[in-house]
Structure 1
């Protein structure tokens, strides 16, 4: 892209300028498509398990299972994005996921086999997401990358909204097998689109002249982050804020049941937070800019957690009823508006990481991100076995507000120096 690309009145690149980058379109489109399919499968399996077992813990375990492979092997699997051509990692991951999800759709599959296949599908996510994130930074520069990151985050949330709402309706109207077949189809289309739309690049490894291994490269990603106060502050805030802001997702089924609503209402409740992030992300992308949005980041973090506390208190005090349900959904939507703080944090992270290390660094960051989401959902499910789901939601919001304070202080202290000695070797956001 040239300097004459269309830009907004503030000099920032327009959405059209970002979409004009040929390789961004398949990266963006396949990410959106696969996310919709993922949410269809996640809700279908969660509802199926809750219907069969009536256990909040088992339902939360099923919801969390797709996140846990990141915590178990994410940093190691993510090194594949730096060891092999990134386009090949993306396509292979999608082909494997299409086949595995198609097996899950076979009618009559035992619950234990479904859970095992879901875990196998989830093992493909770390190399895919690390390769996609690193390739995005390869094909876009400066403020174009910032705008593209905002668009991708908005796409993620909007895809979750569509997936959650559609899943609630489809699970009510059809069998889980139909929903799983739709998920398999999204991965197959994604693999084909990526094969046609991406350039062939060599593996982006640094040539040190010494043989390497995935374990060594995973360790390099951990050391990169551990040696930088800036990166440590970013990671701490990302993981801590996400842990408490999203814990309620794991007990959405029992919470909706306690409020007297059904499967369609469950989809809407799950969609409320991502819809808020969609709106907030658009504001961050086009109106605030990266510098201003980072200054507002502490306020946005508080806004992402305080409504979660209020939603739990409202549900606990009001009990079953449509009015309480609507108010809870509204509060979760407001929390989503605040959760757009992840967008400027993502840009700050990219600024601090050398291009050849991005796969490993993204792998560590996203592994922890998905890991805490899974652990948060499991913790919420375990707590909901003994206390009302609404009380668990309130506790998550309240404890989260306290837990993010030291993370925010560390981030503010690290702001003048970007990542210390690990300054980005490639293009960065001004």
Structure 2
């Protein structure tokens, strides 16, 4: 079982530590750049909605400006992510940051009309899929074994915190001057580009030019490898299932708070508490399970956590007060936070290097679509039935879904075989065969054990 997580640590060794992870300079640079980009993104979302509202006095246009940032994932996420695999990951990330920086400066200009702002925001967020795909595909080259799990835990927890900081800072600054908030956002992208450019080694593209086919065909291959390979398909089912129900309390928080306030808590405070509970629980779950539970035990806990995540929301049927709702949502977030970093780590290890960027696009787009569809579906049901009833029965269906995912979860030997196969494919498909000597050059040609310890 242990071989599915780490091929370098003894089976009974304690989990990797944050010191192990942050002791690597490349991870520090990638982590800091990622946090800056996310803070900037959320800051811009808050500022742009205020800017468009001030310019047009239209709530609909303000909402359209916010929604424009999600469209690239829905209409072109897999295609744009596949594009990242054709080029050097460091170059992709730097170029995407510089493009977003320049476009944010244009958005901040006082003469810019609302329709142009929406269009520029859409163009800027087109850079998100290739940039995030390149970062995700590069991470296993920097961290190996259980360090990858801990690194993913740190990164996903930081993204949750960045959401809170970005929204609060953006909303606060935008009240005084939205253009200032957008210029700060541009500055975060400039810093991110500098960190990536000077903090990461320049590795060769994983898809050699001679091996490239049509971009649409390469994108389709990303879907094929995710859903045709049993281990990858099982992980995708688990992740997508978790997204189906974990987002619902957050999405229905406003209506839930309006229907059921009590204990001296007003609707606005109740909404904020419910919405914040899931991200806070996610961070705690990732840190506690990722840091304090050993790798083998973590794998053994996955089926139980998968079923527990929707099960803790079923008591919503009893119509509890907002504080209890927040506790239920936090418990769900805790379970999901314990599942996803390990699931993501296994997914990366079971993927041949050449497919990582494309598969990331499939997974990221799928989670965006599933979360949006779940909120829309439960919102429509809440028009006819009480929200506690909707959430309770929706979560009960989630328990059944997760039971199926847990029962069909691959055996450890199957996962181990998939990881070995992916590692072998990465060696064969590498544009630069691994160097067997004692050293490694700056183009990423390292000794085989180190370069391919985790695919």
Q: What does 1:274-423 align with in structure 2 at a 5 Å threshold?
A: 274-310=279-315, 313=317, 317=319, 324-340=321-337, 341-380=339-378, 382=380, 393-394=391-392, 396-410=394-408, 412-418=409-415, 423=421
C-alpha contact 1:98 1:185 (8 A) present in aligned 2:
yes
1:384 deviates by: 5.5
For residues 51-99 of structure 1, what are the alpha-carbon distances to aligned partners after superposition, in whole Å with 9 as ceiling and x for unaligned? 97778xx95x776653442232111111122101100110111122223
- Relative distance call for 1:76 and 1:414 in structure 2 (3 A) is farther
How far apart, in 2, do the equivalents of 1:100 and 1:304 lie?
Answer: 40
**Which of 172, 177, 189 does residue 187 from structure 1 map onto?**
189
How far apart, in 2, do the equivalents of 1:391 and 1:107 lie?
Answer: 48
How far apart, in 2, do the equivalents of 1:185 and 1:106 lie?
Answer: 15
How far apart, in 2, do the equivalents of 1:105 and 1:128 lie?
Answer: 22
- Relative distance call for 1:332 and 1:419 in structure 2 (3 A) is same
How far apart, in 1, do the equivalents of 2:357 and 2:44 lie?
Answer: 27
1:224 matched to 2:229? The reply is no
- Relative distance call for 1:288 and 1:91 in structure 2 (3 A) is same
For residues 79-131 of structure 1, what are the alpha-carbon distances to aligned partners after superposition, in whole Å with 9 as ceiling and x for unaligned? 12210110011011112222333444456866655444443333211111110
What SS is found at the alignment partner of 1:38? helix
- Other-structure match for 2:245: 244
Q: What does 1:91-170 align with in structure 2 at a 5 Å threshold?
A: 91-106=94-109, 113-166=116-169
What is the aligned length? 411
1:282 deviates by: 1.1
- Relative distance call for 1:86 and 1:413 in structure 2 (3 A) is closer
C-alpha contact 1:307 1:334 (8 A) present in aligned 2:
yes
C-alpha contact 1:281 1:343 (8 A) present in aligned 2:
yes
C-alpha contact 1:280 1:338 (8 A) present in aligned 2:
yes
1:80 matched to 2:83? The reply is yes
How far apart, in 2, do the equivalents of 1:229 and 1:180 lie?
Answer: 44
- Other-structure match for 1:321: none
| Residue ranges of structure 2 left out of the alignment (5+ in a row) | 1-7, 427-451
How far apart, in 2, do the equivalents of 1:49 and 1:254 lie?
Answer: 25
C-alpha contact 2:82 2:218 (8 A) present in aligned 1:
yes
C-alpha contact 2:249 2:274 (8 A) present in aligned 1:
no
- Relative distance call for 1:267 and 1:17 in structure 2 (3 A) is same
1:296 deviates by: 1.1
1:233 deviates by: 0.9
For residues 4-34 of structure 1, what are the alpha-carbon distances to aligned partners after superposition, in whole Å with 9 as ceiling and x for unaligned? x999x94443212221212111111111222
What SS is found at the alignment partner of 2:204? coil
What SS is found at the alignment partner of 2:373? helix
- Relative distance call for 1:66 and 1:405 in structure 2 (3 A) is farther
Alignment RMSD, CA only? 3.7
C-alpha contact 1:82 1:204 (8 A) present in aligned 2:
yes
- Relative distance call for 1:211 and 1:178 in structure 2 (3 A) is closer
| Residue ranges of structure 1 left out of the alignment (5+ in a row) | 319-323
How far apart, in 2, do the equivalents of 1:163 and 1:66 lie?
Answer: 15
For residues 112-158 of structure 1, what are the alpha-carbon distances to aligned partners after superposition, in whole Å with 9 as ceiling and x for unaligned? 55444443333211111110011111122222222212221222223
How far apart, in 2, do the equivalents of 1:239 and 1:111 lie?
Answer: 35
How far apart, in 1, do the equivalents of 2:270 and 2:186 lie?
Answer: 25
What SS is found at the alignment partner of 1:83? coil
TM-score normalized by the length of structure 1: 0.81
For residues 182-210 of structure 1, what are the alpha-carbon distances to aligned partners after superposition, in whole Å with 9 as ceiling and x for unaligned? 43332222122212212222212146x45
- Relative distance call for 1:17 and 1:413 in structure 2 (3 A) is closer
What SS is found at the alignment partner of 2:267? coil
Larger radius of gyration: 2
- Other-structure match for 1:196: 198
1:292 deviates by: 1.6
C-alpha contact 1:241 1:301 (8 A) present in aligned 2:
yes
- Relative distance call for 1:190 and 1:197 in structure 2 (3 A) is same
